[in-house]
Amino acid sequence: MQASTISHKPQTVGNIDLSDLQWETWDKQTEALERISDPETECLLYGGARGGGKTHLARLYGLLRACKYEGHKVLICRRSFPELERNIIVPMRQTWPWLIYQERHHRFLIPESDSIIELGYTEGDYHRFQGASIDTLIIDEAGQITKDVYQFLRSCLRTTNPLVKPKTLLTANPGGPGHHWLKKLFIDREPEPGEDVDQFQYLQALVWDNPSLVDSDPDYVKRLEAMPEAQRQAYLMGDWTALLGSFFVPPPPQTDCEPFTIEESSCEQYLFGSLDSGIRHPTSFGLLFWDKGRIYRLFSYLNSGGTIAGHAEEIRSRIEAFPWTHGQFPVTIWADSSMWTEARLNERMIRSQIDEYKDAFQGTRTRFEKATRDKTFSCMITQQMFSGRESYPEYVLWKGTNHGWRESITLPEIDQNHPESYLKCDGDDVADETRYGCMGLWAWQNRLKQGNVLQQKARAKMNKLKEKDWYAL
Ligand SMILES: Nc1ncnc2c1ncn2[C@@H]1O[C@H](COP(=O)(O)OP(=O)(O)OP(=O)(O)O)[C@@H](O)[C@H]1O
Ligand SMILES: [Mg+2]
């Protein structure tokens, strides 16, 4: 596909021949340039999905405005300096090496039009822009900033040239601290007092609107397609409502299986547990069996009130009495790392929650291990296991022994600031505990694989030594 060029493209501005700017645009980007050039439009939000060519357009629009008008001032912003450098400064310097870059001031100079492109970041004290006057404001990834910051920057938008209308170009994907205000203004079209909604335009760009990316990295689209449903809807389809709702989509009930007796030798090796202990919130425990890349959740324990020691005793006796596993104990239980925090109970006694469990499990082979603190990564692993591999479910519930698990796992909502994770809420105990188990088993399995590889290497080395003809030396 050929990139199109916009119809009203001027040929020269000042001494600059604009055909040197390499400003080919794809159709959607051309439409964006046309929409923002409309005299009625003050602000355009461009995007709504990943990879649509938003940042490319942001850089180009900044340069076009700075070249087109004499003495023009453009501000291009990102949330942090590293993001600004990676996405704006470096590509601009590479694409247009003739621009004069003043590193100390983070700005490009265009002597031909006597214009400036300032490069700013909003993290930290954004009031450093106080008193600045800008003709064109561009915020790349506006979803990363709050409305206060946007309004402050917008207050710097004023021009001394009566022939130039100040413009704002925003780019954003759903999600982030700015999700709500962007959705309200541009998607739901509910302005706040003083905002004329007709001046705010939205143009959606999807990844397919950017053939540069689709052609050069076809796997990019596949990666977006493989994301969990909510993120896929948001990032691939640009759906601004998708990130509302439950974070976890549990495996469908038809993948549940009837309990079966597990061989004693398998119990000895592949029985595990996960635990989230609560004082003011419920305690959640799951007994897990690992078999052929699949987790079977054998039973769930979810109870509130009582004492920590009481829960520990109860969990122990339920494991012992469980009819399908010969009273065997899990090899490892992954537990919330905060359970290791010690508290002074009196003059002579310091105890942690895990001590209560260790006492209750005394004489068994169970080891307690701190569960991961990496919430984002463990969320990803858990979601991956819930989705399974092709038609092979990786997380299977035993029927009749996991009451309430499915209802509880869907309680936490997507954290719109960090869509890869969920918000803390009352009732997230089951989600936390389940995630500890998935992550623990994932890491355990990888350690095993690593061990096997090392063993294989050692064996291969040994075989090589054996084959060597020592007499020929
Ligand atoms: N008109 C174009 N000509 C050539 N390359 C382009 C064009 N538009 C976009 N690209 C390239 O496509 C890739 C993705 O574009 P870009 O980074 O602008 O997308 P984005 O929408 O900002 O993505 P994200 O959602 O990840 O921020 C980049 O390598 C960019 O340089
Ligand atoms: Mg971008």
Distance 50 CA to ligand 2 centre (A): 7
Q: What is the mean pLDDT of residues 458-463?
A: 76
Ligand 1, pocket-test mutation among 63, 171, 212, most atoms within 8 A of CB = 212
198 and 322 co-located in one domain: no
Residues 207 and 301 in one domain: no
Beta carbon of 87 within 6 Å of any ligand 1 atom: no
Q: Is 56 in the pocket of ligand 1 (CB under 6 A)?
A: yes
* 382 confidence band (pLDDT: 50, 70, 90): very high
Residue 471 lies in a domain: no
The tokens for 101 are 């870059």
Same domain, 267 and 231: no
Mark whether 420 and 296 lie in a shared domain. yes
* Gyration radius of the chain over CA positions: 29
Which amino acid type is present at position 222? Answer: K
Domain of 182, CATH number, reads 3.40.50.300
* 309-337 per-position pLDDT tens digit: 999 999 999 999 999 999 999 999 999 99
Is 25's C-beta closer than 6 angstroms to any atom of ligand 1?
yes
Kindly state the tokens that stand for 143: 């979803």
Taking the CA of 54 as reference, the closest ligand is 1
Is the domain of 223 the same as that of 275? no
Distance CA 368, CA 311 (A): 15
My answer on whether 337 and 285 are in the same domain is yes
pLDDT at site 453: 66
Q: Identify the domain boundary among 235, 253, 279.
A: 235
Q: 196, 217, 235: which is the final residue of a domain?
A: 235
Residue 416 half-sphere exposure, CB side, CA atoms within 13 Å? 22
Domain assignment of residue 332, yes or no: yes
Residue 7's pLDDT is: 41
Q: Which of 6-15, 183-192, 419-428, 462-471 has the lowest mean pLDDT?
A: 6-15
The reported pLDDT for the residue numbered 472 is 62
Angle 176-177-181 (CA atoms, 0-180°, nearest 5)?
A: 105
58-92 tens-digit pLDDT: 999 999 999 888 899 999 999 999 999 999 999 99
pLDDT for residue 320: 97
Residue found by looking up tokens 């700017």 in the block: 21
What Cα–Cα distance (Å) separates residue 414 from each residue in 71, 236, 308, 371, 423?
Answer: 45, 17, 30, 21, 6
pLDDT in tens, 165-174: 999 999 999 8
Say what the pLDDT of residue 300 is.
97
Q: Residue 321: how many CA atoms within 13 Å on its side-chain side?
A: 6
DSSP β-ladder status, 395-397 and 294-303: parallel
Report the pLDDT value the prediction gives residue 6, as an integer from 0 to 100: 46
> Which residue has the least CA distance to atom 4 on ligand 1?
212
Closest atom of ligand 1 to CA, residue 173: 25
Does 74 map to a domain?
yes
CB-CB neighbours of 447 under 10 Å: 10
The answer to whether position 461 is within a domain reads no
Query: Looking at ligand 1, which atom is closest to the CA of residue 205?
Result: 21
Q: Tell me the C-alpha distance between 439 and 370, whole Å.
A: 11
Determine, yes or no, domain membership for 254. Answer: no
Nearest ligand, CA 59: 1
CA dist 464 and 383 (Å) reads 43
Torsion region of 306: left, alpha or beta (phi above 0 gives left; psi -120 to 50 gives alpha) = left
Same domain for 184 and 51: yes
Does residue 173 line the site of ligand 1, with CB under 6 A? yes
* 251 Cβ closer than 6 Å to some ligand 1 atom: no
The confidence band for 379, taking pLDDT boundaries of 50, 70 and 90, is very high
Q: Which residue has the tokens 């690992």?
A: 290
157: phi then psi, degrees, rounded to nearest 5: -80, 105
Ligand nearest to the CA of 49: 1
User: Is 26 touching ligand 1 by the criterion CB < 6 Å?
Assistant: yes
Pick the atom of ligand 1 nearest to 56's CA.
18
Question: 164 alpha carbon to ligand 1 midpoint, in Å?
Answer: 28
**Same domain, yes or no: 373 and 296:** yes
Average pLDDT, the chain: 89
Same domain, 421 and 279: yes
Query: Residue 90 belongs to what domain range?
Result: 12-235
Q: What percent of the chain has pLDDT over 90?
A: 59
Query: Closest Cα to atom 25, ligand 1: which residue?
Result: 50
Residue the block writes with tokens 């948001």: 234
Find out whether the beta carbon of 212 lies less than 6 Å from any atom of ligand 1.
yes
Tell which of 235, 270, 288 closes a domain.
235
Query: Tell me: the pLDDT tens digits for 184-243?
Result: 899 999 988 888 999 999 999 999 999 988 888 888 888 888 887 888 899 999 999 887
CA distance 416 to 175: 5
On whether both 275 and 129 belong to a single domain, the answer is no
Same domain, 290 and 410: yes
Is 249 inside any structural domain?
Answer: no
**Minimal CA–CA distance to 412: which of 230, 171, 218?**
230
Residue-wise pLDDT for 144-165, tens only, equals 888 888 999 999 998 888 889 9
pLDDT recorded at residue 112: 84
Question: Is 380 among the domain residues?
Answer: yes
Atom of ligand 1 nearest to the CA of 207: 21
Verify whether ligand 1 is closer than 6 Å to residue 29 (CB atom).
yes
With bands split at pLDDT 50, 70 and 90, how would you rate the model's confidence at 8? very low
Of 21, 28, 55, 227, best ligand 1 pocket probe by most atoms within 8 Å of the beta carbon: 55
CATH label of the domain that carries residue 300: 3.30.420.280
pLDDT for the residue 360: 97
Buried b or exposed e, range 132-151, using 16+ CB within 10 angstroms: eebbbbbbbbbbbbebebbe
> 410 CB under 6 A from ligand 1?
no
Overall domain count for the chain? 2
pLDDT in tens, 395-420: 999 999 999 899 889 888 888 778 88
Residues in the 5 Å CB sphere of ion ligand 2: 54-55
Whether 49 and 122 share a structural domain? yes
Residue 356 included in any domain: yes
